[in-house]
Each structure stands twice: as C-alpha cells, then as structure tokens.
Amino acid sequence: MLRCLIAASSKHSFLFIVLRFVRTTNMVARFSIKDLEKLSGIKAHTLRAWELRYGILKPERTDTNIRWYCNNELKLLLNITLLYNNGFKISKIACLQNHDLVEEVNKLIDAQGKACDQIEGLIISMVELDEQRFEKIISNSILHNGFAHTIENIVYPFLHRIGILWQTGSINPAQEHFISNLIRQKLIVAIDGVPVPTAANPKRFVLYLPDGELHELSLLYFAYILKSKGHQVIYLGQSVPFMDLEKVFEIRNPHYILSVFTHVPAAMEYIKQLSETFSGAGILLSGNQCLEPGLALPGNISVFKTPADLLVLIS
C-alpha cells in the first residue's frame, strides 16, 4: 500500500535507506551497524563510540564474529536519536532508565513540535507496532494543522524517509501492514467526512489502479482532495481490469480519469491505450512509471508529481 503514496513523488527524491531483515529460524530480525546508520541518521563510527563509551548498544555476534543488532536495539536507538536530535547530550541519555527514556520521547511527540520530531515518532510507532503513539502524532497534527497539511507534511515525508524499505520489499511484512492500514483508515475516515457535492454539474473523476496495482494510499488521498474541492469521485480502487474501466466510462462519461502507475508493466503501451480508448476525457497520471523525464505523452495525458500539481491541472 505504501509504495503507491511514495510513488506520487519522483523516486529520485527519496531518502534511500538500505535496511536488511535477516530472519533466523525463530524469526529474529538482524541489523548491521550500517542498517542502523541508514535508519537513524547517526554515523556508524558515532554509534561505535557510543557503544564503547556508554554501553548504549549491545550487539550479538554470529558464529563468524560478525556483529548484529536485534529489534530491541533498533527501538532503543530510534528513541535515543529523537532525544539526541533535540539537544539532549548523549551522556545524559545514557544515564536514563528505559521508562525515563520513553517518557522523555513521549513528551517530545505529544508537544506540538517540529515536523521532523513527528516523523521520527512515526518511525518508532512503526517499528514498535504502537498504534497509540501513531494516533497521538497524527491526531495532534490534524488538530493543529488540518488533514491535508498532516498528510503532505508529516505522512509524505515519513514515507519518503523509509521509502526504500517498501521499494525493495525489505521491511518486515507485519510492520508494513500495520502502518499501511493505520494510514489507510485515516484516509477513508477523512473521505467519508467530506460532504457529497451539491453543485448542479460537478466535474466527474474516475479513480482507479490498473490490473496488478494493489497499493492505493496515494489514490485514496487524491480522492480526498478532489471530493474536498467539490468534485464527484467515482472510486474503483485497486487492480481494475481495462474492460471494467471501459464499462464505467460508458455509464458515467467522466471528465477525467486518474490513476497511479507504480509497477504496471509496459506502461507506455498502456498509456497509449488509455489515450485512444478515452479520447474524450482528460487522463491524469502519477507514479514512477510515468514520471520519467523525456516521455512523449499523447495530448490528452497529463502527469503530476504532487497534490498541488493535480489541483493546478484541473483548475
């Protein structure tokens, strides 16, 4: 699900994070010190210094004496990183008991603080499968800044920060499903809260993902944006066969068709088919497969990277 929202921006804008989950027979995740560096942003040599001086991290070793770190070490480091990035001295952090450490982190997250703190908090909530922490961060941001601001300035950067985890399929599936479904729930509730358009002739949009595309978070957010602007949204969802799209077009004759291409094979051939079959509609596309520079697109096809770009196209 997350890959779709990530794909709404150029893949070149991602913060590339290389993270491996090596499963043993009892399903314990193993991280190298480079993995911890990529996810926390703390250099490996600094982590080693903290380990030696303060005993903060306690790695295990393989039979061949290669050091590795478990999930608990990753959780601890993410909490430490959040405090460290907010001015706490590492010597003070090292003296904190675990419950005191968690309490200080929660104070930062609960306060209306910087977006980067909230993003770090979301990473912790994902790793720890902590729905309560996720809810606090998102609800607090929505309360103070609104839903659209929260998605675009907290959730989007959060997904960019950990984007390569989903791009490569390296993340623990349980963590992926957990955070994806929490975000999806927020999007669906927000869409449900938007009144049905009452204008006499609202613009009609069909939103769908091509056959084989299953990750719909960005599509849901685009549905929210369009509905909140008073447009009529016919939401078909994920993995829609082309013939079904044709039937919907015959029934509703929409002004626009909107989709996101993340993994659809032979994207250019599919785009040409869209253009020819639905020549009477504007076709709006986003995603990695159609955002490559230099693509020659048919006249009724427009591509966009961000929600702001989408609003410009339909204004």
Q: What is the pLDDT of residue 5?
A: 45
Q: What is the pLDDT of residues 278-314, one digit of tens each?
A: 999 999 999 877 776 667 788 899 999 889 999 999 8
Which CATH architecture best describes the domain 2-191? Answer: Orthogonal Bundle (1.10)
One-letter amino acid of 98: N
pLDDT at 112 > cutoff 50:
no
* pLDDT bucket at 10, cuts 50 / 70 / 90: very low
Give Rg (Cα) of the chain: 22
Q: What is the pLDDT of residue 90?
A: 92
Give yes or no for a contact between 237 and 218, defined as CB atoms under 8 angstroms apart: no
What is this structure's pTM? 0.69
Cα 227 from chain centre = 21
Q: What is the pLDDT of residue 171?
A: 55
As a whole number of angstroms, the distance between CA 232 and CA 226 comes to 7
Q: What is the pLDDT of residue 67?
A: 83
Q: For residue 193, report the phi and psi dihedrals to the nearest 5 degrees.
A: -85, -5
Give yes or no for a contact between 167 and 3, defined as CB atoms under 8 angstroms apart: yes
Which residues is 284 bridged to in the sheet?
Answer: 258, 302
Please report, for the chain, the start and end positions of each structural domain, with discontinuous segments joined by +: 2-191, 204-314
DSSP 65: -
Q: What is the pLDDT of residues 175-187, one digit of tens each?
A: 878 998 999 999 9
Give yes or no for a contact between 232 and 203, defined as CB atoms under 8 angstroms apart: yes
Q: What is the pLDDT of residue 163?
A: 57
pLDDT at 256 > cutoff 90:
yes
Q: What is the pLDDT of residue 111?
A: 59
Q: What is the pLDDT of residue 77?
A: 87
pLDDT at 135 > cutoff 50:
yes
As a whole number of angstroms, the distance between CA 142 and CA 154 comes to 10
Q: What is the pLDDT of residues 229-241, one digit of tens each?
A: 999 999 999 999 9
pLDDT at 15 > cutoff 70:
no
Output the six-digit token pair for 315: 């204004």
Out of 152-161, 179-188, 270-279, which region has the weakest mean confidence (pLDDT)? 152-161
Angle between helices 71-84 and 33-40 (to 10 degrees): 40
Q: What is the pLDDT of residue 39?
A: 73
Give yes or no for a contact between 307 and 296, defined as CB atoms under 8 angstroms apart: no
Report the CATH superfamily, name and number, of domain 204-314: Cobalamin-binding domain (3.40.50.280)
Q: What is the mean pLDDT of the chain?
A: 81
